[in-house]
Structure 1
Amino acid sequence: MTNPLIHAFFMGRAVAEIVNEQLENALTDALSELGKFDAEQRERLRHFTQEVIDRANHAAETYSGSSSPTATSPSSPPSDVQATIDDLRAEIALLRAEIQRHRSSST
């Protein structure tokens, strides 16, 4: 290779080939990572959906197991709703009294 022009041509060609290969590898890697990310997200979504369905089924089974056998329509309330309301009112009253006691002791 005595001619510097031919040498420069082959050097440029080699540089272009190497840059092309590196660009191809980088693009392939990026697309591979994107594919893995997409697959992971789909798997997470599938697990999330399954978890929601399982919890909803469990809650429905728990609700249907605790409702009275005479209740046939879903709009009819369970028999212990009034007791639950009374318990909640009692807890609220206790909490109000505790808050009042805390306020009076801190002043």
Structure 2
Amino acid sequence: MSDPLVRAFFIGRAVAETLSEQVEAAVTNTLSEIGKFDAEQRENMRQFANDVVERANREEEVAMRDRASSGETATSTDSSVTNVAVSVVGDLQATIDGIRAEIAHLRTELQLYRNSQA
């Protein structure tokens, strides 16, 4: 049997490595959940904005129809601002998805590196 001091060192080292791995996994999972929550909230916000725009367009159409039937001229609206806002949200979602994929890849590479060092 080896020296108790050496054994205590290796036990302490094993405890530290195990705790480090568990903390890493917990932090990674937490960040992943936060990312998912953020993506869901952004999707909900995008859907809300689309619903608002659709409702506004319907109400505007009804109002314009009423104006046209009463003899007034109707004006058209420009929806380019809405289109730009929707495309920015889509680009942001693509960026978030890309970052998630990169995190998953790096996590795998880190685990492979740690396994090769053990």
Normalised TM-score (structure 1): 0.64
Question: What CA deviation, in whole Å up to 9, does each residue of 1:6-27 have, x standing for no partner?
Answer: 0000000000000000000010
What is the identity percentage for the equivalent residue pairs of Structure 1 and Structure 2? Answer: 51
- In 1, Cα distance between equivalents of 2:74 and 2:20: 70
RMSD over equivalenced CA pairs, Å? 1.5
Q: Which has the higher contact order (CA 8 A, sep 6+)?
A: 2
- In 1, Cα distance between equivalents of 2:57 and 2:74: 18
Deviation at 1:73, TM superposition (A): 7.2
Letter in 2 for 1:72: T
1:55 aligns with 2:18: no
- In 2, Cα distance between equivalents of 1:21 and 1:29: 12
Question: What CA deviation, in whole Å up to 9, does each residue of 1:32-70 have, x standing for no partner?
Answer: 001001100100000000000000000000111122352
Aligned length: 74
Structure in which a larger fraction of residues adopt helix: 2
What does 1:16-95 align with in structure 2 at a 5 Å threshold? 16-67=16-67, 68-72=69-73
1:52/1:62 CA distance change after superposition, 3 Å = same
Higher gyration radius (CA):
1
Normalised TM-score (structure 2): 0.59
- In 2, Cα distance between equivalents of 1:33 and 1:62: 43
List, as ranges, runs of 4+ consecutive aligned residues in structure 1 with deviation greater than 4 Å: none
Q: Which runs of 5+ in 2 are unaligned?
A: 76-118
